[in-house]
């Protein structure tokens, strides 16, 4: 038996599957959800779809990604700090909320915490009377945005970090943020924990057991008590409500289950793809920056993500059952840079152009199950098939499908076919990297394919954990965007002579002695193998006498493999030596590019 629904049916849901079928399915399973299901707070969070990160701290004024903890609070004195501008830009960019870095790893607090002197209260800004967290929370409420906070567990400034006293300090600061700034929709705990730091003048490396040191269960209890509707982001072994997706590049796996196990360590595949048989609902949040780095750097003004790249990010995050957390760094003057602002607004306009103006109307939807006697040889024995009919040949290149996740995530595999000139042609997602095909739906799945002109579109659920509950399907015609133009291929190292004197030592020289001011290192872009995480840099004029220019860590280089700049006092040199003191993986140093600045 086949069921035919017309677009004039009152229950027809947008341009997709008829509501009558959804109601039927819901009624049949409402007493027995399929596996773990989201809480009401997780459902509200998932419906936000896009919200903004704001990174702003002393790092903005020291041109760093990770501060060491000894940076002078006197550096914080923006000339034109305007949190309302941040909120307006984020709202125009389609963001539904803002997560603010109230305290990054350097330990500097962007609010006048009564538990430390290392905060805005000891900066020249507003004569020490300012509170960035307060101003942003108020601005968000004025613009109708939700507000959230990032509080780094790691603190490279605090003298007691690594000892029990610091955990009390950390929780006291958390209480301030959760009780003095209104409703908080999410608390974000970074996974970077322990390492070298100032630590009140100790200048040493401190290691902690991240699974036990913070005593997360008690911290979670405090959050639940003070902000019952707040969700917890944490990528450690103590499971929060949301998970990291294993990369800061702006994508989650094409297969993406909103499930993990409550106990035990998580591996990278679990973070990136979820766990099909996980016992807890822990959906993925995709975080990335509109620039290469998280904090503002003048050198990145020409490297703000293109509209094409932002749309690709949208399809690979929101379009893969995730949310998108998009970072807008604050410039030293205290505002979002105009380039970032305009690009974010253009991004939102393009989403509207695709998913509102580009909507293709269907004439009717035909629903068939295998038990209805469907004889199509391509349909699996347990398949559920939906055929969308157009009233004329219609061009389209996007397909959207959603499950009603209130009753669990069910669909494991599905297919798409278009009827073109009387023949069914399979449609493949051109954004799929790993060849897993059309797998998992969840809250929303967007399939992108080259434009076809067809009279019908066939969506077939080939495999599911339980009876599928399809909440919505729809088709769209997206305008063609100019793809990003790749680099010419000419490396900046092309005018340098370099060789490896050992697997972990690179020597670089040039034709004549010059005064140099910085060295730049780009890690490999497709692998962690050989990525330098800790380094020592030396200079010489004669190959015999070497002067140490710098040593340290390339902060966050594994998760965000962007250009790393080592600055030093102007130095006369004819050669440099880069020692890889530590590699992310492997035994041999590797690089994508290198550059010496004069």
DSSP readout, 152-166? -S--SS-TTTTSHHH
Measured between alpha carbons, how far is 597 from 42 in angstroms, rounded to an integer? 48
pLDDT at 443 over 70: yes
Share of the chain above pLDDT 90, in %: 75
Q: Which two tokens stand for residue 489?
A: 């291929």
Q: What is the mean pLDDT of the chain?
A: 89
What tokens were used for 157? Answer: 């400034």
Segment 315-325, tens digit of pLDDT? 999 999 999 99
Between CA 50 and CA 48 the distance in angstroms is 6
User: With left for phi above 0 and alpha for psi between -120 and 50, is residue 231 left, alpha or beta?
Assistant: beta
Q: Which residue has the tokens 């760094």?
A: 329
Half-sphere exposure of residue 373, counting CA atoms within 13 Å on the CB side? 3
Q: Is the predicted pLDDT of residue 370 greater than 60, yes or no? A: no
Q: What is the C-alpha separation between 76 and 324, in angstroms, rounded?
A: 30
Q: What is the pLDDT of residues 16-57, one digit of tens each?
A: 333 333 333 333 444 579 999 999 999 999 999 999 999 999
Name the band, by pLDDT with cuts 50, 70 and 90, for residue 493: low
Beta strands in 207-264 (DSSP E): 231-234, 243-244, 259-260
Instruction: Give the pLDDT confidence of 130-178 residue by residue, as tens digits.
Output: 999 999 999 999 999 999 999 999 999 999 999 999 999 999 999 999 9
pLDDT attached to residue 492: 55
pLDDT at 418 over 70: yes
Q: How confident is the model over 323-344, as pLDDT tens digits?
A: 999 999 999 999 999 999 999 9
The Cβ of residue 40 has, within 10 Å, a number of other Cβ atoms equal to: 9
- Cα separation, 443 vs 440, in Å, equals 10
Q: Give per-residue pLDDT as tens, 69-92.
A: 999 999 999 999 999 999 999 999
- Reduced to 3 states (helix: H, G, I; strand: E, B; else coil), residue 216 is helix
* Residue 455 CA: distances (Å) to CA of 8, 68, 97, 228, 306: 19, 61, 40, 50, 34
pLDDT, mean of residues 455-462: 95
The whole-number pLDDT of residue 236 equals: 60
Cα separation, 420 vs 417, whole angstroms: 9
Q: What band does 97 get if pLDDT is binned at 50, 70 and 90?
A: very high
* 24 three-class SS: helix
The candidate with the shortest Cα–Cα distance to 108, out of 132, 81, 138, 137, is 132
**pLDDT score of 118:** 98
User: What pLDDT shows up at residue 235?
Assistant: 67
**Cβ atoms 519, 537 nearer than 8 A:** yes
DSSP of 44-90: HHHHH-EEEEE--STHHHHT-SS--S---GGG---SS--HHHHHHHH
């Amino acid at each position: 038996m086949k069921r035919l629904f017309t677009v004039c049916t009152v229950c027809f849901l947008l341009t997709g599957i008829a509501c009558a079928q959804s109601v039927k399915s819901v009624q049949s399973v409402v007493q027995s959800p399929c596996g773990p299901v989201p809480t009401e707070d997780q459902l509200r969070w998932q419906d936000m779809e896009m919200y903004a990160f704001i990174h702003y701290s002393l790092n903005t004024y020291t041109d760093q990604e990770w501060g060491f903890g000894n940076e002078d609070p006197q550096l914080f004195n923006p000339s034109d700090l305007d949190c309302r501008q941040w909120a307006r830009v984020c709202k125009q960019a389609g963001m539904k909320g803002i997560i603010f870095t109230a305290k990054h790893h350097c330990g500097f607090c962007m609010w006048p915490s009564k538990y430390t002197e290392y905060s805005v209260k000891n900066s020249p800004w507003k004569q020490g009377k300012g509170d960035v967290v307060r101003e942003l929370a108020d601005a968000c409420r004025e613009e109708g945005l939700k507000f959230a906070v990032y509080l780094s567990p790691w603190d490279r400034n605090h003298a007691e970090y690594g000892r029990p006293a610091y955990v009390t300090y950390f929780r006291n600061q958390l209480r301030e943020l959760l009780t003095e700034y209104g409703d908080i929709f999410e608390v974000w705990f970074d996974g970077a924990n322990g390492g070298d730091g100032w630590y009140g003048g100790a200048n040493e490396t401190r290691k902690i057991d991240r699974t036990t040191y913070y005593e997360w269960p008690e911290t979670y209890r405090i959050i639940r008590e003070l902000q019952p509707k707040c969700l917890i982001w944490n990528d450690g072994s103590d499971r929060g409500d949301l998970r990291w997706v294993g990369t800061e590049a702006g994508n989650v796996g094409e297969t993406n289950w909103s499930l993990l196990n409550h106990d035990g360590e998580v591996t990278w595949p679990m973070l990136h793809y979820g766990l099909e048989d996980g016992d807890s609902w822990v959906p993925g949040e995709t975080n990335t920056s509109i620039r290469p780095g998280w904090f503002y750097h003048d050198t990145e003004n020409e490297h703000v993500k293109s509209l094409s790249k932002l749309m690709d990010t949208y399809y690979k995050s929101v379009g893969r059952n995730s949310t998108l957390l998009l970072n807008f760094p604050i410039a030293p003057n205290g505002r979002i840079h105009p380039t970032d602002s305009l690009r974010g607004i253009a991004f939102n306009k393009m989403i509207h152009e695709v998913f509102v103006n580009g909507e293709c109307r269907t004439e009717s939807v035909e629903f068939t199950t295998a038990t209805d006697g469907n004889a199509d040889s391509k349909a699996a024995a347990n398949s559920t098939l939906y055929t969308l009919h157009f009233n004329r040949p219609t061009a389209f290149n996007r397909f959207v499908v959603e499950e009603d996740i209130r009753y669990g995530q069910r669909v494991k595999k599905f297919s798409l076919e278009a009827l073109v000139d009387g023949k069914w042609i399979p449609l493949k997602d051109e954004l799929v990297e790993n060849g897993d095909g059309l797998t998992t739906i969840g809250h929303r799945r967007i399939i992108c394919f080259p434009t076809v002109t067809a009279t019908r579109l066939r969506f077939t659920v080939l495999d599911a954990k339980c009876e599928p509950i399809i909440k919505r399907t729809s088709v769209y015609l997206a305008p063609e965007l100019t793809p990003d133009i790749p680099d010419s291929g000419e490396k900046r190292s092309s005018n340098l002579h370099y060789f490896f004197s050992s697997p972990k030592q690179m020597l670089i020289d040039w034709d004549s002695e010059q005064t140099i001011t910085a060295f730049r290192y780009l890690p490999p872009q497709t692998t962690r193998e050989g990525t330098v995480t800790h380094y020592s840099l030396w200079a010489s004029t004669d190959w015999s006498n070497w002067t140490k220019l710098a040593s340290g860590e390339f902060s966050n280089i594994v998760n965000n493999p962007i250009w790393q700049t080592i600055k030093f006092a102007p130095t006369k040199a004819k050669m440099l030596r880069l020692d890889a003191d530590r590699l992310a993986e492997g035994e041999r140093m590797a690089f994508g590019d290198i550059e010496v600045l004069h």
